[in-house]
Amino acid sequence: MVRLKCLAIAALFALPGSLASAERYQYSNSIYELPKGWGVYRATEAYQLLGRSGATSCEQCDFLIARSAPAKGELTDFLAQNAPHLLDPGKDETLTLLEPPKLIKDGGWTYAFAMARVSDDDFLFLLATKAGDRYEMIALRAPSGNQATVKEAAEIFQSTGLGLASSMRYVSEGAVPLMPPATPGRLDGLWSGTSMNSVLGLDGMLRMEASTRHLVFWGNGYFYDGTPPDGLALPAPATLREPIDTRIGTYRISGDKLDLTFADGTTGQLTLNQNTMADGSRTLYPMKLLPDGSTISGSISDFYFMGFTPGTIGGGVSSSSFFAYKKDGTYSGSSSGGASATFTNGSGDTTGGFASGSQAKRGGTYEIRDGLLISHPADGSAAIKALIYKNGDSIYIGDSALSTD
């Protein structure tokens, strides 16, 4: 394995990487061209993930574009100290460098390169460089396995990873951000709208599901698609220089068209009509916010069920929740979920099955600030945030109406 590892490192820099497609995106300080056949997947506070489907080799490989960091200390130290930030935040993973990072000079650029093992499952090819006053890093995450698996990953990094790295342009070196600079606009506040979409269930049946979209606008020219982390408070300037939240962007109004450009360079357009706006599937209306420090009295509940394919599997999956809010600033409630199934053969005889479920009680205090209902669980876990607003005479928390009965 050590011999193959050394050969892979040598091979990676023996040939230039292939160039990417013309689709350009931005994450943090990095503006890059999306490699052909790859798509932009989720973004976290530490990295942007690029993935693909239908690949014939290294099908579980993912590229990670790391969040930019100030260029302090040695480049090799930056790679070693920041590589653990590329682990999956939803899993209990560990990272071990297989050897100290190496410095490689190529075309006037200096890179740091290393390979790392992620727990016992995957490994990473890591490549870091300096761009102005910032350090940058990309990585290829690939499943561990036999030598053929490692060779496939090395070839992907050679053919695609180096092309991705060479396509990088950095705001810290004068590259123009894909999100245009904000200019003051006449929109300010929260707009919300709901559409009904058909969804194919596990049982093979089409059913209708409500889909609510929230758009927050600020008079300085910024917008947010979804629930802003700080509600309707103006975003801090520091978060806008190198945006890692791809749901924020700037807007322009031209006639009856509202053009949106997100931080990662993607765009969208809505049509304005007096006090409403339409995105093609729903009409959004302006909502009224509750004053800071308000309290509420009422409850919200939710129930979901989807059955399995009839004929061979019976049962399904379900979830439910109930939360009650009091005027004294406290809340209580519970949530539950479960799944059950019975298996039958061609004669209709039951051949087996299973059932599982869980339930949790929750409660604590809440506050209303900047258009958010911020719930503070009594167990000390992280605060839960949801937009809260009035739509006519009704109060909504997220996309659920508050029942006052």
Kindly list the averaged pLDDT for each block of 10 residues, start to end, along the chain of length 405: 35 45 84 90 90 77 94 96 93 92 85 91 92 95 80 88 90 91 94 80 62 95 95 82 82 97 94 94 96 96 64 63 94 76 60 61 94 96 95 94 87
Give the span between the Cα atoms of 262 and 259, in whole angstroms. 10
DSSP structure class, residue 381: P
Beta carbons of 318 and 337 less than 8 angstroms apart? yes
Q: Give the relative orientation of helices 2-12 and 147-156 as an angle to the nearest 10 degrees.
A: 10
pLDDT value for 334: 84
Give the span between the Cα atoms of 233 and 250, in whole angstroms. 16
Neighbours of 30 (CB within 10 A): 27
Q: Does domain 189-288 have CATH number 2.40.128.290?
A: yes
Torsion of CA 95, 98, 104, 107, to 10 degrees: -60
Beta carbons of 85 and 67 less than 8 angstroms apart? yes
In 3D space, the residue among 261, 281, 279 whose CA is nearest the CA of residue 271 turns out to be 279
Among the four given CATH numbers 3.30.360.10, 2.60.40.650, 2.40.50.110, 3.40.1000.10, the one describing domain 2-173: 3.40.1000.10
Q: Where are the domains of the chain?
A: 2-173, 189-288, 298-401
Give the span between the Cα atoms of 390 and 232, in whole angstroms. 15
pLDDT value for 223: 96
Q: In what order do the strands lie in the sheet with 24-27?
A: 24-27, 30-33, 169-170
Classify burial at 84, counting beta carbons within 10 Å of its beta carbon; exposed 0-12, middle 13-18, buried 19 or more: middle
Beta carbons of 97 and 82 less than 8 angstroms apart? no
What global pTM score does this model have?
0.77
3 sits in which H/E element = helix 2-12
Give the DSSP letter string of 188-253.
Answer: -EEEEEEEEEEEE-TTS-EEEEEEEEEEEE-TTSEEEES--TTTTSPPPHHHHHS---TTEEEEEE
pLDDT value for 347: 60
Neighbours of 52 (CB within 10 A): 19
